[in-house]
Chains A and B, each alone.
Chain A
Amino acid sequence: MSRIVSGSRPLLELTDITVSFDGFLALRDLNLSLRPGELRAVIGPNGAGKTTFLDVITGKVAPSSGGVLFKGRSLVGIPEHRIARLGIGRKFQSPRVFEDLTVQNNLALAVSRSKQPWTLLFGRISAEQRDQVHHLMNIVNLQPRADWRAGALSHGQKQWLEIAMLVGQDPDLLLVDEPVAGLTDEETDLTADLLKSLAGDHTVLVIEHDMEFIRRLESPVTVLHQGHVLCEGSMDQVQQDPRVIEVYLGTKEDDAQ
């Protein structure tokens, strides 16, 4: 698995994506590209299409028109599990872990390289993968909870478990949807550091509402509004942009649609 694809060619490229739900345009003509190793934050008011945009990349929703290229390969029409195997991992908005499995087993499923029934049935987990599971549990402080049912964890612990699962999957592109919702300030800072340390080796795209958190990421920011990109730039630039202020504070009547 080659981490950094040659030079400046984008790892992920979305061109003119439009998604329509029965006439309602969740995304319209959305363009976005991510360089390998980049850390990117995406913000936008509620209903801006942030989650739909992740749905399109991960294959959950097929775009009505437009293209998605990942490592130069089109993702449109490919089922979710294949996209995941190509190297795109996703953390959901509200934490989704397998509640009836233990923390350890949740991670073991994530780190397992082969996802085929026969190998899981006949093969055993390798020592290396076992170490990886323990390493991940240490990072997110879940070692003492290794044999707990994931459903018994607190909200914050589930968030972290899911992030650990995402990292364990070792994708080239990490899509992280609201990773710090419901976390304490301290946990939020740790999450920001974790994501920053992942960037470089991995490409990371973070969706978040928490502006302080975004600021801490020190990354370029993309603002989505009503299904398309409003502006891009550093956090400071974006916050100065009159359009962004208007969208968030709603001073003028919006006539975009």
Chain B
Amino acid sequence: MNAFQQRRWPLVILWVLIIAAIVAAPSVLPVFRLNLLGRFLALAIVALGIDLIWGFTGLLSLGQGIFFALGGYAAAMYLQLNSSGDLLNGIPEFFTLYGVDRLPAFWQPFHSPWFTLVAIWLIPGLLAGLLGNLVFRNRVKGVYFSILTQAALLVFFNFFNGQQKLINGTNGLKTDVTQLFGQMVGSAEMQRGFFWVTAVMVILMWLLVRWVVRGRFGDVLIAIRDDEPRLRFAGYNPTLFKTLVFAIAGSLAGIGGALYTVQSGIVSPQFMTVPFSIEMVIWVAVGGRGTLVGAILGAVAINYAKSLVSEALPQSWLFIQGGLFILVVTALPEGVIGWFRGEGPRNLMSRLGFSRPIGTYPQLEVDGNDEVQP
């Protein structure tokens, strides 16, 4: 197990670098770039949730956009209400466009900041738990689960996109011109604040997910991924565990969505499009599923690449993204971090001609003196 411990120090260095980069970012980056980084860190929280359900438990959800958008809507609804006190009727402006003069009932609780802070993670979490349970208890799994999550996503998109009178439909809710603590949410000051909040949340959520996947609970998740029917015969009920982690992932997506919304200045049904939700999966796949730091790095790196490429060559991003999907599943199934942790570097070195002599079969090398004598 020395080999394992030896491989830990690059990870520690990686973390030191990440934290140093986050701390340094506000003073180094211009506001525009800082805001982008803040958004990508918000997406990293979503990626952590996907890693929890896909990387560890083997559930590929193509519908995380639902929970992401719900978190965003919760935050935006509060901000809209908070800033529309001096308007006619005291309701957000867009309602008057559709001739609505009374606030729909489900908006009412979002007057309260405390309710909103809870709703941001609780509503997506509960919804994920409910939807997940309906699917899991029938033992629908594998690609069927993925397809159903995708269909659910489409349903929510249709709903939010079509309901102008309830939620401003396809236009979405803007937050950048709303007020919070007497300041414009879109102001540079506020944005810097949101960056810090996001950075801290990424680390807190990383710790949370790490705690979940360590220990026997995490072992059960991996066991579900390996052989779910077998686990039942050991007396565990996989449905409960799956529902729970899917709910946690939903909550994480909600938190990410809220933080993303306040930094991007708008939440709209575009958050619930099919391509965006599948894109989230590729962040985790590239970073390395089953490695939490991989999910975070993957989300930030790919989105950064996306924004750079889209600025320079807008035509080619889809080609690159499509290629990335194909490449990562065929050539790099463990992702970048998984590749570094595994035999990747050694294979590359030996392919380049720098082979380290291996004494014997790797299997016998570890503790070869204890041959099995049953």
Contact = CB atoms under 8 A, between A and B. Distances in A.
Touching chains A and B, CB distance < 8 Å: yes
A100 B1 contact: no
Interface of A: 58, 60, 79-81, 84-85, 89-90, 92, 96-101, 105, 108-110, 112, 115-117, 120-121, 124-125, 140-141, 144-145, 147, 152, 154, 156-157, 160, 165, 169, 184, 186-187, 190
Interface string B188-224: 0000000000000000000000001001110110110
Among B219, B241, B370, find the residue whose CB has the most chain A CB atoms closer than 10 A.
B219
B236 A157 contact: no
Among B215, B231, B235, B238, find the residue whose CB has the most chain A CB atoms closer than 10 A.
B235
Contact of B212 (A105, A112, A121): A121
A190 B372 CA distance: 14
Contact of A98 (B217, B226, B238): B226
Contacts of A144: 367, 370, 372
Contacts of B359: none
A124 B215 contact: yes
Given A120-B217, A144-B370, A101 B232 contact: no
Given A96-B227, A120-B215, 10 more contacts: A80-B229, A80-B233, A81-B231, A81-B232, A109-B220, A116-B240, A117-B220, A140-B374, A144-B367, A165-B234
Given A117-B241, A152-B363, A100 B234 contact: no
B158 interface: no
Contacts of B229: 60, 80
A84 B230 contact: no
Contacts of B373: 141
A115 B237 contact: yes
Contacts of B220: 109, 117, 120
B141 interface: no
29 contacts: A80-B232, A81-B232, A81-B233, A81-B236, A89-B233, A92-B230, A96-B227, A97-B230, A98-B227, A98-B230, A98-B231, A99-B227, A100-B225, A101-B223, A105-B216, A109-B223, A109-B234, A115-B234, A115-B235, A116-B240, A117-B240, A117-B241, A117-B244, A120-B216, A125-B216, A147-B1, A165-B234, A169-B234, A186-B374
Contact of A115 (B215, B236, B367): B236
Given A117-B241, A160-B374, A96 B219 contact: no
A160 B352 CA distance: 42
Nearest to B370: A144
A116 B220 CA distance: 10
Contacts of A116: 240
B235 A187 contact: no
Nearest to B211: A121
Contacts of B244: 117
Contacts of B217: 117, 120-121
B219 A109 contact: yes
Contacts of A124: 215
B222 A110 contact: no
A156 B372 CA distance: 11
Q: B-side binding surface: helix, strand, loop or mixed?
A: helix
B222 A98 contact: yes
A116 B236 CA distance: 7
A141 B374 CA distance: 6
B54 to A, nearest CB: 14
A152 B361 CA distance: 13
A145 B241 CA distance: 28
Contacts of A169: 234-235
B372 A141 contact: yes
Contacts of B372: 141, 144-145, 154, 157
Smallest CB-CB A-B distances: 5 pairs? A144-B370, A84-B235, A80-B232, A120-B217, A98-B223
Contacts of A99: 226-227
Nearest to A121: B217
Contacts of A147: 1
Contacts of B233: 58, 80-81, 84, 89-90, 92
B125 to A, nearest CB: 15
A190 B374 CA distance: 8
Contacts of A156: 374
A130 to B, nearest CB: 12
Nearest to B242: A117
Among A81, A92, A154, find the residue whose CB has the most chain B CB atoms closer than 10 A.
A81
A235 to B, nearest CB: 25
B28 to A, nearest CB: 39
Nearest to B224: A98
A3 to B, nearest CB: 17
A152 B233 CA distance: 22
Contacts of B212: 121
Nearest to A162: B230
B219 A101 contact: yes
B56 to A, nearest CB: 10
A118 to B, nearest CB: 9
